[in-house]
């Protein structure tokens, strides 16, 4: 039986660059690290969040108060590892579920990732909402560290702006996800999630995954029917090599992008991207589909968004976020290319937008 009482004796704290300090107790790996503090409003799906490469460089604060109830298992992972910098929660629970094979604390510890529990996540979330995402430093190691020094380390951290984190999370070499399908897709891996690959496979696509730094020539050499641009972490403007590749591919082959891939498609088309105050992170964000008039509940994870006033005439907006009116989808008016900011593969999350994979297939069919 896991000794929760003993675990609670390991004091820990999260120090923000604005000087605020949130105290609690540590679980997972006892290591110190810097990162960007954000909050996720999903009620479940913490293992999928942990294994989403788009969270690389970030401390994810879960707004749901009780975490760990259903444990962890090998079936719910969304990538080959854990890429976030740490997990911040209110209450850690002992798992009780027939699918559980490992506790959340044990899962984090085995993967070398720290967690902090026992803090007022509601207060932290309100602060991040009001003041914006914060550079932070998480202290869970046994070595003593003053709170003032932790604040200084948070302020000194380079942050995510202007940083190429896709290079840190991408696969090292090309690989085939599946070998069956009547359409062949070359997928750029900027931090791709497994459920995206499953979504394409379920819609009759044979997928070859390419590293983030692959060139347009690398993709075209596969003679694909379409090219997919994946989700991923940090600042899209830092991926100049990807923007150049997409600009070369545009008009030569059908394109479809998700999340970071959406931002990169916009940048390659001549739009500009800017940072959101606290980002969109959760599986309950309403988006209006301007093509159908329907409101779709979506899963989201991003800190940057395309600037509407910079969108070139060749692109049209297809989706709008109903919380802040930011762009959530675009398509090219004359070429077979489209993208969305949210996650239609929904892991975790709803399935309202799952038809987008079918629409990508239709682009290739036409």
Of the candidates 306, 322, 150, 334, the residue with the CA atom closest to the CA atom of residue 237: 306
Average confidence (pLDDT) over 27-52: 97
Instruction: Report the number of secondary-structure helices (H) and strands (E) in the chain.
Output: 11, 19
Q: Is the pTM of this model over 0.75?
A: yes
- The active-site residue out of 72, 139, 259, 319 is 259
d(CA 108, CA 99): 17
Q: In terms of DSSP H, where are the helices of 67-208?
A: 104-110, 121-131, 147-156, 166-169, 194-202
Is 365 among the catalytic positions? Answer: no
- The pLDDT tens digits for 188-240 are 999 999 999 999 999 999 999 999 999 999 999 999 999 999 999 999 999 99
The whole-number average pLDDT for the span 35-49 is 96
Residue 47's closest CA among 140, 132, 126, 110?
110
d(Cα 279, Cα 125) in Å, to the nearest integer?
Answer: 12
Say whether 101 is catalytic: no
pLDDT value, residue 172: 87
285 has catalytic annotation: no
């Amino acid at each position: 039986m896991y000794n929760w009482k003993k675990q609670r004796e390991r004091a820990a704290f999260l120090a923000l660059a604005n000087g605020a300090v949130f105290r609690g107790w540590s679980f997972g790996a006892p290591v110190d690290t810097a990162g960007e503090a954000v909050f996720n409003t999903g009620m479940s799906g913490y293992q999928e969040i942990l294994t989403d490469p788009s969270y690389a460089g970030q401390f994810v604060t879960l707004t749901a108060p009780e975490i760990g109830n259903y444990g962890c298992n090998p079936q719910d992972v969304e990538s080959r590892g854990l890429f976030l910098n740490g997990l911040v929660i209110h209450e850690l629970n002992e798992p009780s579920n027939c699918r559980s094979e490992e506790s959340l604390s044990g899962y984090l510890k085995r993967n070398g990732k720290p967690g902090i529990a026992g803090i007022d996540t509601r207060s932290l979330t309100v602060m991040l909402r009001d003041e914006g995402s914060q550079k932070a430093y998480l202290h869970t190691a046994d070595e003593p560290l003053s709170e003032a020094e932790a604040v200084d380390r948070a302020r000194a951290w380079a942050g995510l702006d202007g940083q190429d984190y896709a290079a840190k999370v991408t696969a090292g070499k090309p690989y085939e996800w599946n070998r069956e399908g009547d359409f062949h897709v070359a997928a750029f891996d900027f931090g791709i999630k497994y459920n995206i690959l499953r979504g394409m496979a379920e819609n009759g696509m044979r997928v070859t995954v390419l590293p983030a730094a692959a060139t347009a020539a690398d993709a075209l050499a596969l003679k694909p029917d379409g090219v997919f641009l994946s989700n991923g972490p940090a600042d899209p403007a830092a991926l100049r090599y990807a923007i150049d590749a997409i600009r070369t591919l545009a008009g030569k082959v059908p394109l479809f992008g998700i999340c970071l891939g959406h931002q990169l498609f916009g940048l390659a088309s001549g739009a500009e991207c800017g940072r959101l105050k606290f980002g969109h992170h959760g599986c309950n964000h309403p988006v209006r589909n301007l093509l159908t008039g329907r409101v779709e509940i979506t899963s989201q994870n991003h800190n940057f968004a395309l600037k509407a006033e910079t969108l070139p005439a060749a692109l049209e907006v297809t989706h709008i976020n109903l919380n802040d009116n930011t762009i959530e989808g675009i398509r090219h008016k004359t070429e077979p290319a489209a993208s969305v900011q949210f996650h239609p593969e929904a892991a975790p999350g709803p399935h309202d937008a799952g038809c987008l994979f079918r629409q990508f297939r239709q682009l290739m069919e036409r």
